[in-house]
Amino acid sequence: MANPQQAVLHAAIVTATATTAAHILPQSMGGKSELPSYKELFGVLLTFAGLGMLADNAPGVAVPLAITIATTAFVFYGIPIMDKTFNPAKEASKK
């Protein structure tokens, strides 16, 4: 079985990367062209710090929850970016 601490760490990296990338990328690529707010990044830090502590006591709860949060962040921030990257004609037809 995988190490629960490592699974939570990987999920935190995916979540923080997706959040940061979605904010830093230009608007033409689906981003917001600005840095993410410190509150948002601090919230990610606190969430995954708590999940890391929970992984010591209840890995059966912490690991699926961490994976769900990472998948949600990747889909929520990734779909608009992928849509504008792979379907540029769709955006041009709206104008």
Instruction: Work out the end-to-end distance of the chain between its first and last CA atoms, rounded to an integer number of angstroms.
Output: 52
Indicate the domain borders of the chain. 11-90
- The predicted pLDDT at position 46 comes to 95
Q: Tokens at residue 26, please?
A: 């230009």
Q: CA distances (Å), 26 to each of 31, 42, 54, 63, 71, in order? A: 5, 23, 37, 33, 23
pTM value is: 0.82
**CA–CA distance, 13 with 41 (Å, rounded to integer):** 12
Profile the chain (95 residues) by mean pLDDT over runs of 10 residues: 87 93 87 88 93 94 95 92 82 60
What is residue 92's predicted lDDT score, i.e. its pLDDT? 57
Token pair 């830090």 is found at 45
